[in-house]
Amino acid sequence: MNRTNHTYRRLSYSIALALMVGLAGPAAAETGGKHADHEEPKAGHEEKEAGHEDHQGHEEEEAGHEDHEGHKEEETGHEDHEGQGEKDSHQGHEEAGADAVHLTDEQLAPLTIRTAPAEPGSAESLLSLPATVTFNADRVAMIGPRVRAKLVRMSKGLGDSVSAGEVIAEMDSVALGQAKAAYLKARARFETALSHFERQKALNAEQIASDATLVEARGRYREARADRDAAVETLRLYGLSREAIKAIDANSEQPLSRYSLTSPIDGVLQRRDVSPGQTVGPESTPIHVVDTDTVWLEMDAFEKQIADLAVGQTVRLSLPALPEQGFQGRVDWISRELAAGSRTLTVRAVIDNPDDLLRAGMFGTATVQTDGHAGALLVPVGAVQRLEDKPHVFVPGDEPGAFRAKPVNVGHESNGMVEVSSGIEAGQPVVVEGAFDLMSILTAGGRSAAHSH
């Protein structure tokens, strides 16, 4: 009942919108006024015809004849005025064409219009599979410290958007502080050893320092360099970049034990299993960042369906929670193993999620196109509307807000999809959501224009 009421409300809005678009009230009113003015000359003509019958004289007959010619001229003028009135009342409709709709941004705002390319397929070669939406594991970052540390504060909260490299938490680690201190000591020793070696090399070139002294200085330099490199690698294992290591300063107000956790990807903070003051180890990843621009769709296929499935096939997803939305992707992986309990095979597809409507855990039905060489195109059943008792689909016009109804020939229908054998080309954008609204506006606009005459 709620869905029916919703449909009635959409239809009422569409008819009201069409009335505003197609009905030219002033022109119709002007036409009506001219009709009224025309009645008096017509009555005068009838009186003159009566006079013509009573008087048989030639002069009176000529006078009646002239009056009749004048009346014809008035009728001609009236017909011209009718044509002008019709032109005025249909001005917007004739500009767009009888099969076109042109809406402003304000008129489009309350509507949901979505287009998608018409793709090759056969309604008789569709598999319907139960499916579950999951996060794209390749776009999930599980973040935690690489050394035992205590959370000082969170820079981001659940649901916040983050960019790659952005700080999401401040941590404090005793072990890291000790490692930084060891690095500063090793770096100082290296700089001292390098300076001494360079000086001894110059003196040896002038034969002031002996070769033995130079060899000793070179050995100390190499030893100091090895200690410094080892300290750098320890910090690298703790997650510090080379730039961050070079920036370590013993005189900084920031404690050596303090460091920041950053996000490696763009996304949204989805999970946080840590609180300020809590200590976590390197085996923990309490913070999750997910990129939901794409999601995975995991489908369950039976053994008898395996032979019909292949990587690259088109998948369309419908969800009970979003009955008026459609989503599309392609199969990118088919498992090599059947589940022991259900004896089903997992098939995975990548689905675009630009509007962030899909959420992990949603259940729905996936329709897989198993035959891409059927010679027909597939569009959703709701994309096909009837105009003058013939099937049409709407395609975008040349301008924003413009849509045109194109006649098509349809074939088999299955799993919410219908075959289109002619009228559109493969890959051509078609209105797959909101076609009912456009057809209601188009047909209501035509009825309103007819009523105005």
DSSP string over 258-303: EEEEE-SSSEEEEEE---TT-EE-TT---EEEE--SEEEEEEEEEG
Looking at the fold, whether 178 and 38 belong to one and the same domain comes out as no
Q: Is residue 272 part of a domain?
A: yes
Q: Could you report the per-residue pLDDT of 196-214, keeping only the tens digit for each?
A: 999 999 999 988 989 999 9
Looking at the fold, whether 44 and 151 belong to one and the same domain comes out as no
Q: Could you report the per-residue pLDDT of 273-325, keeping only the tens digit for each?
A: 999 999 999 999 999 999 999 999 999 999 989 988 999 999 999 999 998 78
Looking at the fold, whether 28 and 88 belong to one and the same domain comes out as yes
Looking at the fold, whether 69 and 147 belong to one and the same domain comes out as no
Q: Is residue 55 part of a domain?
A: yes
Looking at the fold, whether 43 and 157 belong to one and the same domain comes out as no
Looking at the fold, whether 162 and 232 belong to one and the same domain comes out as no
Q: Is residue 189 part of a domain?
A: yes
Instruction: Using the 3D structure, point to which of 100, 115, 133 is the last residue of a domain.
Output: 100
Looking at the fold, whether 156 and 189 belong to one and the same domain comes out as no
Mean pLDDT calculated for residue range 401-422: 89
Q: Is residue 96 part of a domain?
A: yes
Number of domains into which the chain is organized: 3
Looking at the fold, whether 162 and 84 belong to one and the same domain comes out as no
Q: Could you report the per-residue pLDDT of 97-109, keeping only the tens digit for each?
A: 568 899 999 999 9
* 395 close to 353: Cβ distance less than 8 angstroms: no
Three-class SS state of 384: coil
Looking at the fold, whether 218 and 182 belong to one and the same domain comes out as yes
Q: Is residue 194 part of a domain?
A: yes
Report residue 213 CA to chain centroid gap. 72
What type of residue sits at position 177?
G
Q: Is residue 125 part of a domain?
A: no
Confidence of residue 20 (pLDDT cuts 50, 70, 90): low
pLDDT at 130 over 50: yes
Domain containing 161 equals: 142-166+262-290
Q: Is residue 274 part of a domain?
A: yes
What's the CATH code of the domain at 218? 1.10.287
Looking at the fold, whether 251 and 266 belong to one and the same domain comes out as no
Mean predicted lDDT score pLDDT of the chain: 81
Instruction: Using the 3D structure, point to which of 197, 230, 256 is the last residue of a domain.
Output: 256
Residue 107 vs residue 446, higher pLDDT = 107
Q: Is residue 406 part of a domain?
A: no
| Euclidean distance between CA atoms 267 and 142, whole angstroms | 12
Token code pair at residue 166: 């952005």
Looking at the fold, whether 188 and 76 belong to one and the same domain comes out as no
Instruction: Using the 3D structure, point to which of 256, 275, 301 is the last residue of a domain.
Output: 256
As a dihedral over the C-alpha atoms of residue 380, residue 385, residue 390, residue 393, rounded to 10 degrees, the angle is: -60
Residue 1: per-residue pLDDT: 43
Mean pLDDT calculated for residue range 31-56: 41
Looking at the fold, whether 160 and 276 belong to one and the same domain comes out as yes
